[in-house]
Structure 1
C-alpha cells in the first residue's frame, strides 16, 4: 500500500495561478526587513506606517514614525484629513491579532490604498528593530505592557 504525501493531498496550483496569488499577497504585505531598510535609508516615501491598536499600546511601543489610528475609531470623518495618494501600512501586535487587518479593511473601504506589516510589532521587535515609547509609558514600569490592546 502506497501512502500519499499529506502535502500533496490538495494539488499544487498551476504556475500562472500560483504567481497571480503570490503577487497579490505581496501587494498586500510588507515585511519588517523591507520597512527597516526604508527607514534607515530615509527612503520612506509614498506611504505611512499606521499602528491600529489602542493608544496605550501605541504609547508603550511603536515603530518610529508610525501614526496611531485605532481601528475601532476609524470613520470616514476621522480619516478625512489623510492623504489619499499615500499607501497606509497597518500593523498590530502579531500574527495572533487581527487589528491590522480590521484597520486596513476599514481604510480600504474608505478608498485608501493599504498594506499590512507581516508579524506586527512582535516580529519587528524580534528582529531587533528600534521602537519609540512615550515618556509616560516608560515611567509605568510596574504596569504590564499592553499586548493586543484591540
Structure 2
C-alpha cells in the first residue's frame, strides 16, 4: 500500500470531531453515535452528548439496538485506544456502515464539544478489554 492508498483508506474509515459535528448539524438523522468504551462506570461517566452507550464487551448481545440504515460512528478513549477499531471491524463484518471518531472522547473534550454525564448508568463489568 502506498501513501495515497493509506490516506484514502484512513479518510474512508474515520471522521474527525469537527466533521462529525458539521455532518450531524446538516443531517441529524444520518448518524448513530456509539460510545464503545469498556471499564468502570465512574471512569466513563462523561460521554459525548446524545451518544448511545454500548460497551464493546456487550456488543454482540446488543446488535439489535444498532440501526442498519444509519452511518454508525464509534468512539473510545483516545488515539491510543483501539477498542473503537475492534468494534468497527465487527460491525463492518455484520453489514453496517461504520466510521471511527478520531481521537475518541479525549479529542472531543479538548474541543469543548457537548458532553453528558452518565453517572446514573447501569453497572457493567470493570475490566477494560482494550
Q: TM-score range by the shorter chain?
A: 0.7 to 0.9
User: Offset of 1:58 from its aligned partner?
Assistant: 8.4
Gaps in structure 2 of 5+ consecutive residues: 122-126
Match of 2:10 in 1: 25
Distance in 2 of aligned mates of 1:38 and 1:28: 15
- Segments of 4+ moved more than 4 angstroms: none
Match of 1:112 in 2: 96
8 Å CA contact retained: 1:70, 1:103? no
Instruction: State the structure with more CA Rg.
Output: 1
Match of 1:99 in 2: 83
8 Å CA contact retained: 2:74, 2:101? yes
Match of 2:124 in 1: none
CA RMSD of aligned residues (A): 2.6
Distance in 2 of aligned mates of 1:51 and 1:58: 13
Gaps in structure 1 of 5+ consecutive residues: 1-12, 138-147
Larger RCO: 1 or 2 (CA < 8 Å, sep 6+): 2
Match of 1:9 in 2: none
User: Offset of 1:59 from its aligned partner?
Assistant: 5.6
8 Å CA contact retained: 1:104, 1:116? yes
TM-score (norm 1): 0.69
